[in-house]
Structure 1
Amino acid sequence: MTEGHSGSSPTEGQPGSSLTERLSIVVAGGGTAGHIEPALAVADAVRRLRPDALVTALGTQRGLETTLVPRRGYPLELIPPVPLPRKITGDLFKVPTRVRASVKATGEVLDRLQADVLIGFGGYVALPGYLAAHSRKRKVPIVIHEANARAGLANKVGARYADRVFAAVDDSGLSAEVVGIPVRHAITDLDRGALKAQAREFFGLDPNAPTLLVFGGSQGAASINRAVSGAAAALGYNGIGVLHAHGKKNSIEVSPVAGAPAYVGVPYIDRMDLAYAAADLAVCRSGAMTVAEVSATGLPAVYVPLPHGNGEQRLNALPVVDAGGALLIDDADLTPEWVETKIVDLMTDPVALQAMSLSAAGVGHRGAAEAVATAALELAEQHRAGER
C-alpha cells in the first residue's frame, strides 16, 4: 500500500448515487486507537443519520487505521505522516518540508473527494487535514473533537480555524462544547445483564462466579499482568473468575486452583463488548477511550494510569472516580497483595459493585457521536449549498 489512495474506490461499500450528488465527509483520526475509535464512532453515526453520505478516513501507513478502518468498511486515504511534538517547541519547525508535503497530499485528497466537511480528532493525521481544509482555495468546514483531558498540539492549532469544537471534558485547553467521547453503538447500546450468560460462555468463564476483567490496551501492561496473575490463587480461593488480556507480546503464568472458577488468559480480546458484558469489575489503564467505553457500559473499574507521560491518564479517570464509579491506584502501588485485599473485598461485595455500576453509568456519555456527526452534517449541507 502506498501513500495516496488506499486502493478503495471513493464510493466502494457505501450506498447512494454519484460523488457529486452526495455529501462527502472526511474523518481524520489516525495513529492510535484513541484517535481512530472516536473517528469511526462518528463515521458510524454519520451513516446512521445520512446513509447516502460518503464517509472517508484519512490515515498513514504507520498507524492502526490501516487495519481498523477497512475492517469497519470505510475507504482509507493515506497521506505522508508528520509526527508532532506534544508541546509547541522548536522541534515543530524542524519538519516544514514534511508538513508541506503532507498538507499538499491531503489537499489533493480533499479535492478529489469533493469534501464538504473535515472532522478531526487530533494527532499527526489531523494537523495536515486542518491546514489543507482551511486553505484559501478550499475553505472546507472543520469540526474538531478533543478526547483527552489536555488538548494535543494538532487540535490546539486546528481550533484556530474550526467551525465547531467539541471536547470530552471541561478544561481541555480548548474553547469547546463538552459532549464526552464518541463511542460505537455496540458499546453505548450494550445491555450487560442480558448478554452476561452468552458472554461468559463465549470466553469459557464460570457462568455464576463474579468475574474480573483485566486488560492493558492492545499491547497489554506488564505491571498489571504481574499484579493480577500474582494474586490468582487468592482470587480463585475466593470464587472469583478472571478474563485477562495480557497482550500479544506478553505472557502470564497462573497455577490453577482446584475447584475454582476459570482464570482465562488471552493475548487480545476482539469482542470487547462481550468482555464488558461478562465482567463485574475491570482493572485497566485509563486512556481516554478506555474510560469512555468502560463508563458507558456502567462497568465499575480500578484504573491504573500509565506511570509516565504528562499525567493525562489520571485526569481521564478522575471524573468517574469522583462520581464513585471507579477506584484509582498508582502503577507502583498495584501489587499482588493489593489485589488480594482490595479487589477481593470489592469483588465479593455485590452491593458495592452495583452502587459503583450506577455511578459509572451516570458519568458515561452515550450521545457524543451523534452530536459531533449532526454538527458536521449541518456544516456539510451549508458548504454544499454554497451558504458559507
Structure 2
Amino acid sequence: MQRKVIIAGGGTGGHIFPAIAIANALKKIQPDTDILFVGAAGKMEMEKVPQAGYPIEGLEIVGFNRSNIFKNILLPWKIWKSLRHAKGILQRFQPDVVVGVGGYASFPMLRQAQKNDIPTLIQEQNSFAGKTNKILGKKARKICVAYDGMDKFFPADKLIATGNPVRNNITQSAVTREDALQHFGLSNSKQTIFAVGGSLGAKSINEGLLPLLETIAEKDIQLIWQTGKPFFETAKAAAAPYASHIKVYDFINVMDFAYKAADVVVSRAGALAIAELCVVKKPVIFVPYPFAAEDHQTSNAMNLVNKKAGLIIRDDEVKSQLGNVVFNLLQNRALMEQLETNIGQLGRPNADMVIAKEVLGIIA
C-alpha cells in the first residue's frame, strides 16, 4: 500500500536540508512513498526541493516582522489565505501523515491536518521550542527532538530523542584531509580555520575576521571563509594580499571538504550547523545569532558549552574576543582534543532514518 507524506516548512537552509534528508530516508525504507513538500512561496525551498527531485507547493505566508511592525498589517490576511490553501492541498493530496520541520509553512499545514484528524509529526530542531511548535505540539502524535529537557515545552509522552538529520554528503563523506586542503589550494602542514555564518553569512563573524587577516597570515595559519553574498566583495578585496593563506567564498557547496580541512570552526549556532559539527567532530567556537526567535541559537550553543563540547563568544563581543579565542585554541592541543571528543559523542549520523521510521510507524 502506497504511503502519502506531506513535509511542510522551510525558509532557511537550516529547515530545508533536514527536511530533504528525512524525505530521502523515507524513500530508502519504502521506495514507493509519495512525498509532497509544502514551503513558503519565494523562499529558497522553492528552488532547493525540486533540485533534490521532489515536488513542492508554495504558500503565500510570511513570518511576523519584529523589526518593522507596519509590515505585519497583511499578516492576518496571509495566514487566513494560507490556511485555505493548505486545506485545498490536503483535500487534493490526501496524505496519511503531515510532517512539520519548522519555518513559516509548517503552521498552516499542520494546523489544518490536525483539524481534519490527519496524524502529524513535529521535528523540533532547537533546544528552545518556537511558539508555533508549542501550539501544534498539543495535538501532534510524535515530536522528534535533538536536545534534552524538551519536556518543558511539550508533553513528555510524545517526545522521541532522534537528533537532527544531517545531509548524506556530510555523514557519508569519504574525503581525506589532504584531498580537502588540496581542493581549497591550501597546505597540508598548516593549521586551518573554517569560518561560516550560515547560507547568508554572518555580519559579526565577517567584521570580526577582517582586522585579523594580516595576523592569520603572519602566524602561518590558513583560513577558509564563507562570507555570504553581501560581504563577499569586501572580504575578497581585504584578503587579496594574503591569497596563499586565505580563501574567500560567498557560498561553499562542498561542506564536507570544508569541515574536513578545518582544525577549528567558527560558526553560528543554528540547529543544522550544530548537528553537522557533532557528526564531523570539530572543535568549534560558536557565535550565536542574537536575533533568532526566542534567542534559540544561544540556547543551542549553551547546551554544548555546558557539556564542554564547544566554546562561545557573544555576538557583540566578536570584534574584541575572536582573535584571542581562536589563536589560544589553536595553541591548546589538549583543549582541542577535549572539544573534539565531547562534541563527537553528541553526533547522530542516522537521525534521518530514525525519524523516517517514526513517520512510517504512525501510519503502519
- The two structures have a TM-score, normalised by structure 1, of 0.83
* Contact kept? 1:240, 1:261, Cα under 8 Å: no
* Contact kept? 2:128, 2:300, Cα under 8 Å: no
Letter in structure 2 aligned against 1:169:
Y
Letter in structure 2 aligned against 1:153:
K
1:148 aligns with 2:126: yes
* Contact kept? 1:117, 1:376, Cα under 8 Å: yes
Tell me the equivalent position of 2:350. Answer: 367
Tell me the equivalent position of 2:89. Answer: 109
Shift of 1:171: 3.5
Shift of 1:186: 2.0
Distance 1:102 1:307 in 2: 29
Deviations 1:66-108 (A, max 9, x none): 121112111112223153579xxxx999855433332222222
Tell me the equivalent position of 1:312. Answer: 296
Shift of 1:177: 2.3
Tell me the equivalent position of 1:66. Answer: 46
Deviations 1:263-304 (A, max 9, x none): 101111111121111111111111121111112211111001
Aligned length: 350
Shift of 1:241: 0.7
* Contact kept? 1:210, 1:348, Cα under 8 Å: no
Tell me the equivalent position of 1:162. Answer: 140
Shift of 1:28: 0.6
Letter in structure 2 aligned against 1:295:
C
Q: 1:226 to 1:50 in 2, by over 3 A?
A: same
> Over aligned residues, Cα RMSD in angstroms?
2.4
Q: 1:308 to 1:128 in 2, by over 3 A?
A: closer
**Partner residue of 1:241 out of 209, 222, 229:** 222
Report the 3-state secondary structure (helix = DSSP H, G, I; strand = E; otherwise coil) of the residue aligned with 1:311.
helix
1:209 aligns with 2:194: no
1:271 aligns with 2:257: no
Which one has a larger percent helix, Structure 1 or Structure 2?
2
Report the 3-state secondary structure (helix = DSSP H, G, I; strand = E; otherwise coil) of the residue aligned with 2:241.
coil
Q: 1:344 to 1:82 in 2, by over 3 A?
A: closer
Letter in structure 2 aligned against 1:163:
R
Q: 1:265 to 1:95 in 2, by over 3 A?
A: closer
Deviations 1:235-264 (A, max 9, x none): 22222110001111112112635xx95210
Distance 2:73 2:126 in 1: 25
Distance 1:178 1:204 in 2: 40
Q: How does 1:270-289 map to 2 (within 5 A)?
A: 270-289=253-272
* Contact kept? 1:144, 1:164, Cα under 8 Å: yes
Letter in structure 1 aligned against 2:303:
P
Tell me the equivalent position of 1:188. Answer: 171
Distance 2:355 2:335 in 1: 35
Distance 2:131 2:201 in 1: 27
1:299 aligns with 2:299: no
Q: 1:245 to 1:52 in 2, by over 3 A?
A: same
What 5-or-longer segments of structure 2 have no aligned partner? none
Distance 2:169 2:352 in 1: 12
* Contact kept? 2:313, 2:322, Cα under 8 Å: no
Tell me the equivalent position of 1:345. Answer: 328
Tell me the equivalent position of 2:241. Answer: 256
Letter in structure 1 aligned against 2:239:
V
**Which piece of structure 1 moves more, 100-109 or 147-156?**
100-109
Report the 3-state secondary structure (helix = DSSP H, G, I; strand = E; otherwise coil) of the residue aligned with 2:195.
strand
Distance 2:131 2:306 in 1: 28
Distance 1:300 1:364 in 2: 13
Report the 3-state secondary structure (helix = DSSP H, G, I; strand = E; otherwise coil) of the residue aligned with 1:166.
strand
**Partner residue of 1:81 out of 61, 67, 77:** 61
Q: Percent identity?
A: 29
**Partner residue of 1:133 out of 84, 93, 113:** 113
* Contact kept? 2:6, 2:37, Cα under 8 Å: yes
Distance 1:219 1:99 in 2: 26
Shift of 1:232: 1.6
**Partner residue of 1:324 out of 301, 308, 313:** 308
* Contact kept? 1:245, 1:266, Cα under 8 Å: yes
Tell me the equivalent position of 1:120. Answer: 100
Q: 1:85 to 1:307 in 2, by over 3 A?
A: closer
Shift of 1:348: 3.4
What 5-or-longer segments of structure 1 have no aligned partner? 1-20, 382-388
Q: 1:229 to 1:57 in 2, by over 3 A?
A: same
